[in-house]
Amino acid sequence: MTSHLLARFRVAPAGFPEPTLYVRHRDGMIDDEGLHLMRGGRATFDTTFGVFSAGRWSRLTDIQDVIVRINATGRVRVELMSYADGVDTVIGTSESDNTVRCEGFRELSAESLYVCVTALEDRVVVRGGEWRTTTAPQRDVRLGVAITTFNRQEYVLKTIDTLVSLESSIPEMTGHLRVLVVDNARNLQPEVPDGAPFRLVGNPNLGGAGGFARGLIEFREEGWSTHVVFMDDDINLEPEAIVRTITLLSHANSPDLCVHGAMMSEEQPWLQFEAGSHYEFRAVYPLRAVGRGIDLRRRADVVRDALEEDLHYSAWWFTVFPMHIAKENPLPVFVRGDDVAFGLMHTGQHTVTLQGICVWHADFALKNNPSSLYYEVRNFALIDTLVFDDHKARHLAWRYLGFGFRNAYSHRYASAEYMIRGMRDFLAGPQEWMRIDHAAKHDEVRQVNEEKAAPLTPDQLALGFTPPRPKFIRLGGYLMAPFLGAGQFLPRPLRSNAVGVAQIDVRAVGLAIRHKSILYRHPRFDEGFVCKRDYRRFVRIQREVFGTTLQLMRGYRRLKKSYRAAYPDMVSTESWKKRCGIA
């Protein structure tokens, strides 16, 4: 009987810091061969990479049965387990061929399935297994992988090797995967086998937006891909993410289905940073991450089912969509917001996540700096203008004033100044935007030496975080900050000569009232920066924020019309080819 691959699972690679993401075991030992068990030893795959998300597969696909096969040396008992409503039930057992079949998959109403393996003799080695089905796929999926890179050789070369190996070593992946790397630095020198489904394209430095636009255009004109995945160059890829993506799309009921890979923390591999996002244009900070802070070592968070989240967009560290949805190209925004706009306009409403489809990425708090805020203010203003019919000048002014206030009143003057630059470039209108030399603009805005995380001195390391005041005191300080000139007019007896210490990703308005200097530091790494009160700079920033806000209120209606009229040209293939130098 023919069966089709749905997912693979394995024992954690030797040395991986959190093996319980892959397998839980008692009295075992993991090395390069696999998990070694003595007689009576037990391993369970009720883990983020081992579990089969039965509820989600039953809703999104038409599969009628599930088969599990275990790859092990030595005699073992394989038990197929069902989890539903807090109860674990054995639904099948094998002590002969390491294979268990569940024919009544849909009647089970299981939230998830997983496997327990018990050693029936000494020196058993468990390596992993596969989930399969006899249900034939609904479509032939050919996945084009588009990676945009700029001087991230250490990461991207490893990813290329992983993808090329995956395509050649798994029969179900062979002929279903092609890799295109757009090199914005034009210096990458990968070594791939002859005949590998890989192509390298040099590109001007047009940021992530330009690299992914180039990749999408290349795949569209090639005509081979049914789907494309946009993938960052600075991730650690779990290969199973590609396998499960292709098999899920092959069996999906909806031809419009899009898939997002969750981001895991590179520094804390068990911590989920985000699994899709919402976007609230009326909020001061509009991004609302879904699934943030979940500890995926916790069994309850892995085996439990939940209905698919209504996502607005998915970040491009790993986002997959069908080619027929991608009739338009990304916005020319260099970085920050290209994925937000594309999701809101095209892919977000069709996007789902799945256990085991994920990547590891470095903490964004270490990457953010004032130049990031330039792009966020400019690009989010453009997104709101294009996407939301009921977005008004007051919404944008509220966000701009609110976040500008928080930066200026927390001694983060460089951030406030870059926000002003971003707003001015948005206010210049679409014709000026179309004339931007994106590489030159990025070189210009990244020349900032303030508010960038750097190693802390021994004296700074000795400083602990300033204990937070009671909430009513903090609220009072926040309300009084304008009247106190962000602390400039605070009576001397109430001031503190000590350095205040806050987390790197906050705006410490309350601390800034009493403390002339604030150390913003990362809670887990010995990095941060110091901001000091500068009243003259503060006054100038206030004046410029209010001036640009007034300009925004007066001209927003005209800007909205002109940006919407210019949108087709901004994202057209002809415009992007001209930017890429291939017109």
Helix axes 370-387, 535-571, angle to 10 degrees: 50
Residue 583, pLDDT above cutoff 70: no
Secondary structure (3-state) at 8: strand
Residue 342, in any domain of the structure:
yes
Task: Give the C-alpha separation, 71 to 81, whole Å.
Answer: 17
Q: Are residues 321 and 242 in the same domain?
A: yes
Q: What is the reported pLDDT for 15? A: 87
- HSE-up (13 A, CA, CB side) for residue 18: 17
* CA proximity to 494, closest of 520, 516, 509: 516
pLDDT tens column, 163-188: 999 999 999 999 999 999 999 999 99
What are the C-alpha distances in Å from 337 to residues 43, 208, 217?
Answer: 43, 10, 19
Same domain, 358 and 230: yes
CA dihedral 407, 208, 291, 43 (to 10 degrees): -140
CA 413 vs. chain centroid, Å, equals 28
Strand partners, 123: none
Cα atoms in the Cβ-side hemisphere of radius 13 Å centred on 377: 31
Inside any domain, residue 558 = no
- Same domain? For 188 and 53 the reply is no
Whether 163 and 245 have beta carbons less than 8 Å apart is answered as: no
**pLDDT at position 470 over 90:** no
Residue type, 54: A
Q: Which two tokens mark 396?
A: 């944008």
The pLDDT value recorded for residue 176 is 98
Antiparallel, parallel or unpaired: β 318-322 and 235-237: unpaired
Q: Say what angle helices 438-445 and 207-222 make with each other, to 10 degrees.
A: 150
Average pLDDT of the residues in 256-269: 96
Number of structural domains (the chain) is 3
Residue 480 has pLDDT above 90, yes or no: no
- DSSP-derived letter for residue 462 is T
Nearest Cα to Cα of residue 232 among 60, 367, 34, 422: 367
Q: Is the pLDDT of residue 487 over 90?
A: no
The model's pLDDT over 51-101, given as tens digits with 9 standing for 90+, comes to 999 999 999 999 999 999 999 999 999 999 999 999 999 999 999 999 999
**Range with the poorest average pLDDT among 360-364, 378-382, 576-580:** 360-364
When pLDDT is averaged across residues 461-486 and rounded to a whole number, the result is 82
Q: Is residue 491 part of a domain?
A: yes
Distance CA 78, CA 97 (A): 9
Whether 493 has a pLDDT exceeding 90, the answer reads no
Structure tokens at 459: 């004296």
- Domain stop point among 366, 387, 406: 366
Residues 220 and 296 in one domain: yes
Residue 454 Cα to chain centre, angstroms: 24
21 lies in the same domain as 121: yes
Mean pLDDT (the chain, rounded): 95
Please indicate, yes or no, whether residues 386 and 451 belong to a single structural domain of this protein: yes
Whether 566 maps to a domain, the answer reads: no
Domain at 37, CATH number: 2.60.120
What's the gap between Cα 465 and its chain centre?
28
Give the model confidence (pLDDT) of 230-244 as tens digits. Answer: 999 999 999 999 999
For the question of whether the overall pTM of this predicted structure is more than 0.85, the answer is yes
The last residue of one of the domains, among 107, 133, 159, is: 133
Q: Is residue 111 part of a domain?
A: yes
Strands (E) in 121-168, as ranges, are: 124-133, 143-149
Distance CA 297, CA 48 (A): 8
From 337, 366, 395, the end of a domain falls on 366
Q: Based on the fold, state whether residues 148 and 289 are members of the same structural domain.
A: yes
Residue 197 token pair: 């489904």
- Asked, for residue 288, whether it belongs to a domain, the answer is yes
- The β-bridge relationship of strands 198-202 and 177-183 is parallel
CATH of the domain at 236: 3.90.550.60
What's the whole-number mean pLDDT along residues 110-139?
98
Q: Are residues 111 and 175 in the same domain?
A: no
Q: What is the mean pLDDT of residues 390-414?
A: 95
Q: In this predicted structure, which of 318-332, 354-368, 464-478 has the lowest mean pLDDT?
A: 464-478
The pLDDT value recorded for residue 231 is 97
Residues 260 and 195 both lie in one domain: yes
Residues 361 and 376 in one domain: no
Bridge partners, 352 (sequence order): 259
- Give the three-state DSSP class for 528: strand
User: Which two tokens mark 414?
Assistant: 């460089």
- Structural domain harbouring 65: 4-133
Say if 478 falls within a structural domain: yes
- Closest Cα partner for 528 from 455, 433, 581? 455
pLDDT at 14 over 90: no
Do 39 and 105 belong to one domain?
A: yes
Query: Which tens digits make up the pLDDT trace of 263-292?
Result: 999 999 999 999 999 999 999 899 999 999
Q: Is 75 left (phi over 0), alpha (psi -120 to 50) or beta?
A: beta
Cα–Cα distance for residue pair 58/494, rounded to 1 Å: 63
The pLDDT-based confidence of 473 (bands split at 50, 70, 90) is confident
383 lies in the same domain as 322: no
- pLDDT > 70: percent of the chain: 99
CA 282 to chain centre: 23
List all residues 6 or more positions away from 57 whose beta carbon is below 8 Å from its beta carbon. Answer: 6, 63, 248, 251
Query: Rounded to the nearest 5 degrees, what angle is found at the Cα of 418, between the Cα atoms of 413 and 422?
Result: 150
Residue 407 has a pLDDT of: 96
Q: In this predicted structure, what is the pLDDT of residue 143?
A: 99
> Are 272 and 355 spatial neighbours (Cβ–Cβ below 8 Å)?
no
How many residues in the chain? 583
The answer to whether 314 touches 343, Cβ cutoff 8 Å, is: yes
pLDDT at 490: 85
The answer to the question of residue 122 being in a domain is yes
> Residue 472 has what pLDDT?
74
Task: Determine the average pLDDT of the residues in 338-358.
Answer: 97
DSSP-derived pairing of the beta strands 99-102 and 66-73: antiparallel
